[in-house]
A and B are shown apart, each in its own frame.
Chain A
Amino acid sequence: MAYTTQTRLAELSDKLLAAASAAGADQAELMAVASDSVETTIENSELHSNQANEETVVGLRVFKGGSLGFATANDDGHGGLDELVDEALAQARVMPADDNNALPEPGPVTPVARLADEGLAAWGLEDTSRVASVLLERVASADQRVRVDSGSVGRSTSTVFLASSTGIRLAERRAHVSGYMFGMAVDGDEVASSDYDGDASRDHASIEGLLADAGDRFVAKCTGGLGAGRGRSYRGAVILSPEAVGEFLLPALVQAISADNVRKGKSPLAGKVGEIIASPGITLTDDGTAAGGLASSAFDREGVAVGRRELLSGGRLNGFLFNHYEARAAGCSSTGNGAGAPSSLPSISPNRLEVDAGQEDYEQMCRPGQEQVLVGRWSGSTNPITGDFSGVVKNSFLVGPGGRRPITEVMIAGNIYTALENISAVSKQRRLLGGTRLVPALTVEDLSVTAG
């Protein structure tokens, strides 16, 4: 099947690239993804439906006289893709020229192992339905008060094909299975904050264990919010769980180190390469090369090899994330962080982010000498341009010498860039979130905590 699909995509690519050239494109790039997926959905703590989908999506990028055009569509089997060439060229004819508009040349690419487990690729609805049932039974038997509002278990297999007029011609087969639950605990008249958990894998043998752990965490999170009471207002230290670090500290930092935001004047980290921007305990690495990794791939959205790169070393900023356009604009090479699907132009994104483990024991961090807020989850807003953030804490606790108690209606506020400098503890334990971010817990000093 893999050979057949790849051959079909290659033929489609040859046809459209030739048509783009004949229509006057100086350069053209085509990305096609053929995918098939099965999914069992959960609603109100029961299996809800089974779904099966197949689709091929194509994205065509052209340059003519230094001007860009881009069009994307799914294959309707009736020649609908033919309009992509006209659409993309029509845009290129009216777009202004830009010297940085060009496609990458082919370069060495190293295949990544175990991206498509054939045992997983064969999974059908009987498998997703069975695993979803097991997951529901596990949650129900753990605590009757927990309700699963919605969730799913699904398997997706895809063949990615990328080709360009500069000679890039790459293909990769990928498969993964994922599952999640969203819901809350209800105890009599009390409804606790809703929460979620889940996991994903490229390995069919590991997913049931991963989802069992996710189910246990989900139950703990939902029930942990029961009996939540008022917090207290203060300015001082806050403990961020790995989930909270992954939810708001890392995304804001990623935006600030994306070269497009730097170029557009939307990053306070512009001009700070080589400077200390975070506490010495923070080392951050982007890695897209791990065998079987969910965020791994041999090549990025533009066909540039994906690698491993330390972005922050001991709090010092080493550099930014680049795709090919931004690299040309900055006068450097792409870092292989061109991101996206065929349905969009290449953007910039990290692969798998890893924050180095620290020295502190997480359990010890959660028993501070003074009362502090331990943030399990965070629901709020961050302005990546200014770094200001503010939001409500969820699944969170007031911890201290007297133990821990769940809290509700508590907000924390501060500034991301100041917070990075004010990290006073990094846990030695780390959690892999969604298969794409490996992060420890952090204690951050001097945040504002407001109890409602």
Chain B
Amino acid sequence: MTDTMSPFAGGIVGTPRLRKEDPPLLTGESKFIDDLQLPGALWISLVRSPHAHARIDAIDASAALAVDGVVAVYTGADLEGDWAGPLPCAWPVTDDMKNPAHLPLAVGKANFAGDAVAVVVATSRYAAADGVEGVVVDYEPLEAVVDVRDAASDRLVIHEDCGTNVAYDWELTPDPDGVAAAFQDAVHHVTETYVHQRLIPAPMETRGVAVVPAPHNGDMTLYSSTQIPHVLKVMASLTLGVPEQKLRVVAPSVGGGFGCKLNVYAEELVCMTLANRHGVPVRWTETRTEASTATIQGRAQRQTIELAADADGKLTGVRATLLADMGAYLQLVGPGVPLLGAFLYHGLYDVPVYSFTCRSVFTNLTPTDAYRGAGRPEATYAIERAMDSLAVAVGVGQDEIRSRNFIPTEKFPYDSPAGLIFDSGNYQPTLDRAKELVDWDGRRAEQAERRATGSTMHLGLGISSYVEMCGLAPSRTLAALNYGAGGWESATVRILPTCKVQVVTGATPHGQGHETSWSMIVADRLGVDPDDVEVLHSDTAISPLGMDTYGSRSLSVGGTALWMATDKVVEKARAIAAHMLEASAEDLEFAGGTFTVKGSPDKEVPLAGVAFGAFTAHDLPDGMEPNLEAQVTWDPGNFVFPFGTHIAVVEVDEETGAVELVDYAAVDDCGNQINPMIVEGQLHGGIVQGVAQALWEEAIYDADGQLRSANLADYLVPSAAECIDMKLDHTVTPSPTNPMGVKGIGEAGTIASTPAVMNAVVDALRPMGITDVRMPASPMTVRRAIEAAGGAS
């Protein structure tokens, strides 16, 4: 595959380049929330319910107030009057969605273990923690609802005012009769049920907040370890009733988010209101234990998928139903997470009819929300696991069943049965290349050899071909989905008098490397050194317009705004250059940072000359404004649809149940690549995060709703020692949705890898009669499956 369709000619884009973010990160120069020096700041610590469900009968803070350094204690009731509204949910997916009031500090009842019920304010972090031990809360424990099916039964209703545990029902079935007919006529009818365990996002930096008030004029700066300073500013202003023009939100260096910092949290609002009350800075840094319960969790779905196919295994219909666990409250975009997968349960397969229904319910567990992939990993898991079942039913290989069903390349742009338009795709080459990388045929032979010789070390091969929708999002599409905001992004390009460049972006990086990629795009087009491009972001005072970073949107939406702003600046520079060269603007060429007159190569002016001329303004064309600066806000016309094929090879130890990943290939297509090194980095991390769901990670709750994996010894985030060398390759199918031809890659690895690994595990065990293993495929889980199948030695 070649990238002959790349619009870049400057020799910078498309070449691996070390990240300019890394030296300050590696040397400790980058400042995270907890690094901020704020003289006179008060620290807070939250009193959290140890019960998953309990009435709060009384709170006695007298012992806490006696602790040296404790300044004040506030209960939920004390602060109830401070809120102009509850914590926001911006995605009421249906008009009748149940949305129980979610106050920053619970009043009357705690609805999950970790729900904050009071706050201690103290002169130090240690005093605040000591103070929490002195707050005596009189709880009346209630029975907890922890299972989604139990919740859906309404046997016990958590939020009495809602009258039900069902938050909403949502359906997408464009052709109900067609779906019914497809399943009636199906030669093969596959039905599978899968459970996505709860996952705990574990960024290296936990959350943190610091609020600095300026008492004289009511200004307030909210520092937060957030992915969304711009969205947070709007939401915090509404929730607290603070005039938005008085509020500045800054996300300093942010040590990862994976979606869990795409939210508006109680601690942000509590710090704001206490900074107002006390007139001094107020701060909070989350502990790792708190991060396990007080920050959103991900996945938590139970899915049933049905495939209808003809005798050849050609899909004729797909029907998916979902039971999604919202947790105790609806968070910022939590209700919408299932919808982000709702359109993709037929994967990258050409299917005539499609049906998706989702019921989302409340439980007495930590609220769920977007976690890397948000909806698409779940959808991809369901279809890719079920395709393996179909292959078995039809009697063909897992590769062949996919090849027979891939959307043919000539059908793009593809009108999907769910109503989307897939922008571009060419799927078969990714499967072919991935098979090459793992020596598919050789591994199959090795697998057969081991089986024939009675080895207890079984090989398994698993394929996951995927397409995902990202680049959130066309604002009108979001409106159709009842989302409460738009999906545009903003960028400003400013060429300074000395021809250095400032870029302002509304996309807010938290580890992705925007500074490097953005400077490469601008440098490639302007003919300047990438190190001469400064990228400013994450501060609403510097970058007032933005919709921030999530949903693999930064490059395809924010990057496109940047591309367009660069265009505007170049056009203005061209007009000035034409004036300086006494030529017509149409006769100028711009390459390598110099304007030349076509046919008169000796007549030229470098961009630096134009920039200084624009600054002095001594001789500009009549009516032209001085300086070179342009701002663009871009609203995309469609999502982008990256795709690819991943193959996992695992070895399963029959005696112990241990699963070891022994080989992994990923062939991805995200269109034109800006910095291939960053693309690889996103894939490496994303793949490991998805493998972690398959093999290691699980938020383990007991029947009382107590989290039994609330630290990193019990919640098994993999380390470098668990990673293997991954074989990466790519194809290039540019997106027609944006001028750079780019697609997102931030979530693809996570979306693809989980089903690849689980398909491999099941492939290894299928001769024993095993057709499913629940995630994570822990040694005991696998061993028990082997024992239950009677295939054990």
The answer to whether A and B interact is no
Residues of B within 8 A of A (CB): none
Residues of A within 8 A of B (CB): none
